[in-house]
Amino acid sequence: MPLVQDRSFMNMALEEAQKAAALGEVPIGAVLVVEDKLIKGHNRVIIDSDPTAHAEMLVIRKAAREIGNYRLVGSSLYVTLEPCIMCAGAIVQARIGRLVYAARDERYGAVESLLQSFDLGLNHKPQVISGLLQQQASQLLKTFFLKKR
């Protein structure tokens, strides 16, 4: 069951996704809450010419630098789309405590859709909450791709 503040953080992630769309990037946003820090980011794959510049990867990297530790124990990650296998791996490596995501990704989702990577017996398994503000996130993606066609 999502916490009351989860909705607020997911709304921030949706705002980040809108920033990505305005830049021509796939509209995915992320917010990471760790210790007393709130880290926000959005996809920058095209702008940075970096296939790893997914919203999740960017906020994980920034948070680790800011707290001076690659382990983000006790943190919560909010993302507008189900993470891919690369991002799911980074979530495990960073020891993120909770993952809250909005929309499922039937093509690349590595949490529940295509793969269930957290169920592979890895050394860490975050709590997962899916579907929070799913309709808003899905609509943002649909609108973005309709404009592209």
Parallel, antiparallel, or unpaired for β 98-103 and 37-42? Answer: unpaired
Task: Confirm whether 56 is a catalytic residue.
Answer: yes
- Active-site hit among 16, 56, 82, 112: 56
Which sequence positions are flagged as catalytic? 56
